[in-house]
Copies of this chain bind each other. A is one copy, B any other.
Amino acid sequence: MEFLVRAENRLPPETPAERREELRSGERARAMELREAGILKRLWRVPGRTGWIGLFEAPDPAALHDALVSLPMSPWLDVHVEALAQHPQER
């Protein structure tokens, strides 16, 4: 099933550049794995913000939860999830 995920990034602006870069590259690497596993299907930036909107696919909400908390930035993400129902037009 598919989920629309919206994440605000609360990493403090004062975070040292090195720590920030470490988190970002870890984030990219883990996102790549989630893409390859078919869990992360699309990812967008919300213009002007550090957060993102993503389209995920997972067998159930607990599996989605596990994927989201596996992101290194996860402790600073404020995440809201919407379960999406298949539209009859796409059956």
Q: Contact residues of A with B, CB < 8 Å? A: 1-5, 7, 10, 13, 28, 31-32, 42-49, 52-53, 55, 60-62, 64-65, 68-69, 75-77, 79-90
Q: Lowest 9 A-B CB distances belong to which pairs?
A: A48-B79, A13-B75, A61-B85, A83-B83, A44-B84, A45-B85, A62-B85, A47-B61, A47-B65
Our pick among B2, B45, B76 for the contact of A65 (Cβ within 8 Å) is B45
Could you tell me the distance between the alpha carbons of A84 and B86 in the complex, rounded to whole angstroms? 18
Could you tell me the distance between the alpha carbons of A83 and B56 in the complex, rounded to whole angstroms? 14
Interface centre among A43, A44, A60, A65 (most CB of B within 10 A): A44
Question: Is A13 in contact with B76, judged by CB distance below 8 angstroms?
Answer: yes
Using CB atoms, name the residue of chain B closest to A90. Answer: B43
